[in-house]
Amino acid sequence: MEEAIFRFEELLDENAPYFPTIDSVILEEKKTGKWSKKEILGHLVDSAIHNLVRFTEINYVEKPYRHRPYNQIDLVNLNQYQIMDIHDLTELWLSINKQIVRLMKSVDEKALDYKIILSDESVIDLRYLMTDYVDHLEHHIRQLRS
The pLDDT tens digits of the residues spanning 35-72 come to 999 999 999 999 999 999 999 999 999 999 999 999 99
Amino acid at 35: W
Going by pLDDT thresholds of 50, 70 and 90, the confidence category of residue 31 is confident
pTM reported for the whole predicted model: 0.95
Distance CA 43, CA 1 (A): 24
Question: Each residue of 116-128: pLDDT tens digit?
Answer: 999 999 999 999 9
Length of the chain counted residue by residue: 146
Regarding predicted confidence, which is higher, 32 or 136?
Answer: 136
Distance CA 38, CA 36 (A): 5
Distance CA 60, CA 58 (A): 6
Q: CA 45, 2, 109 angle in degrees (round to 5)?
A: 95
Q: CA 44, 126, 16 angle in degrees (round to 5)?
A: 25
Residue-level pLDDT at 3: 96
Q: What sign has the CA pseudo-torsion 123, 49, 26, 4?
A: negative
- Does position 143 have pLDDT exceeding 90, yes or no? yes
Domains and CATH numbers, the chain: 2-145 (1.20.120.450)
